[in-house]
Structure 1
């Protein structure tokens, strides 16, 4: 039976991962680690409190006895608990902090370190008809993407020096119940039946990953022997245009899809004027991840379809860990 340690366990991904692992008690024991806030229901599993990634504390005692560490605590956005982060802070948290944690994991006897990175490492967009591959040359443009790429390189170096297995996972935009990101903003638009000038946004394609599919893949990476020292892209396996995202969200929430045609150039100018670069990218650009490597190397397929994941994302009472992960 493997003992898996999950960092960032009071975050959106870490929370769901811990709950999913608890549903497989015959296969795993769980140790949940977090820096602040409450850590789920601590009566059900071991919990440890970690110091800040920026302070390089001693983690050995907290990590001892675990076989695999799944690191979900790195910073995936420019915004922190106390405001916007500069590039120096992103480097301290995502690079220096992550590398220190990996070295402490090795000292504690952990054999596999799984790093949750981001598709932003590959780049902000894919040209029409193209896609990102796990082994594509990374071309990050955002400060976060650059910091995560540097963290990946340093982790690989740690693995080569210590013999600890390093697994890197790059997801695209993650969504699910109560997600607090761009997808959550789109859900609000659909929920309130807002009429939007986006019917012409049908030529782009975007990969997404539902929280259940992502958690299932992370568990697969924790157990599959062939995941060692590999980099993987993960998604739902079906890429959607902006128009189809809105249509499917409306369908799964029993709402009308009130999109009307409007010249895309004017929408883009409006987004630029109000400073919503994230909307500009999501509505008009493509970002497609190829997951064939995950399918071929690990034999993994997304357990939930896109429509199933979209439908679950509307369920406010949905228990994130209730889906039994694929074996």
Structure 2
């Protein structure tokens, strides 16, 4: 039986992954978190800090695979003076510190949850990101993930540690936060939204689909030293997404058909251009590599994934 160390167990992806691994009984799971009180089904986490000098050796004893979900995530209201330096300290130096110790401890495989932001922020309509596209991160978070990927790949060549990199787009599911949660609340309140005529295409990944891909990468021999893009395999326009959310919550969608060009102009004048780009622009990913190399298929449809946003994590385990 494989022994797996899962970091970031108190996070959105980490908590769900821990539940699924424990329930499967196929691996022996050890978890870590900054908050040692974040117990999962009675499993006490190892207290850990994602810093350049933290000692991970106790947690890494007899470990076969590390699944690294912990990170400094995108922060809407940044308070530090130099955000990029802080992202690098945690997401780059902290990650590489863990990976170097994992290699020294004899860990075989290191699975790194990166971000589609490594590829960039937008794609032309109908031209999805491919796994081999030249990286083009734009913000501090994306830059830090790309630099961590490069460091891990270098370490893999030096030590023989198998590195698997997964780049998900926006992840949704029970307990989702951020902009997706804000959209859900607007739909639940029945407020009219001027987003009924948006014909973009965006790739998302349901929480259970991402967890399924991670679990496949834990054991699949062909995953070693590969990069995968994650997704549901079904792209949606913003209008379709909002209609899907409304259906999942049992409400009628109240979408007003306002042309995207007018919305973008208004958002630019109001200083909200980045938010408008996320709502109106396209970001598509090609998941064919995971399908072809691993034989993986997203197990949960978008419709079912949206329904699961409105039940607790415990109910969907």
**What TM-score does the superposition give when structure 2 sets the normalisation length?**
0.95
* CA drift at 1:54: 2.6
* CA drift at 1:266: 3.0
| Counterpart for residue 284 of structure 1 | 280
SS in 1 for 2:45: strand
| Counterpart for residue 154 of structure 2 | 157
- Which one of 275, 280, 291 corresponds to residue 295 of structure 1? 291
| Counterpart for residue 71 of structure 1 | 68
Matched, 1:307 2:303: yes
- Which one of 94, 118, 121 corresponds to residue 118 of structure 2? 121
Deviations, residues 60-89 of structure 1 (Å, cap 9, x unaligned): 112111111010012231458976861110
| Counterpart for residue 167 of structure 2 | 170
CA RMSD in angstroms, aligned pairs only: 1.8
- Which sits farther off after the overlay, 229-238 or 55-64? 55-64
Matched, 1:48 2:34: no
* CA drift at 1:137: 1.2
Cα distance in 2 for residues equivalent to 1:10 and 1:41: 9
| Counterpart for residue 7 of structure 1 | 7
Cα distance in 1 for residues equivalent to 2:29 and 2:91: 24
Gaps of 5+ in 2: none
- Which one of 133, 137, 141 corresponds to residue 140 of structure 1? 137
Cα distance in 2 for residues equivalent to 1:13 and 1:177: 10
Cα distance in 2 for residues equivalent to 1:107 and 1:296: 32
SS in 1 for 2:245: helix
SS in 2 for 1:140: coil
SS in 2 for 1:199: coil
Cα distance in 2 for residues equivalent to 1:20 and 1:231: 23
* CA drift at 1:198: 0.9
**Does the 8 Å CA contact 1:32/1:39 hold for their aligned counterparts?**
no
Write out aligned runs for 1:180-199 (5 A).
180-199=177-196
| Counterpart for residue 314 of structure 2 | 319
Write out aligned runs for 1:195-210 (5 A).
195-202=192-199, 204-210=200-206
**What TM-score does the superposition give when structure 1 sets the normalisation length?**
0.92
Matched, 1:229 2:217: no
| Counterpart for residue 266 of structure 2 | 270
Cα distance in 2 for residues equivalent to 1:83 and 1:255: 40
Deviations, residues 88-139 of structure 1 (Å, cap 9, x unaligned): 1011111111111100111222110000000010010101220111111111
**Does the 8 Å CA contact 1:23/1:321 hold for their aligned counterparts?**
no
Gaps of 5+ in 1: 323-327
SS in 2 for 1:9: coil
* CA drift at 1:169: 0.2
**Does the 8 Å CA contact 1:19/1:320 hold for their aligned counterparts?**
no
Deviations, residues 12-51 of structure 1 (Å, cap 9, x unaligned): 11111100101111x11110101125223363x3531113
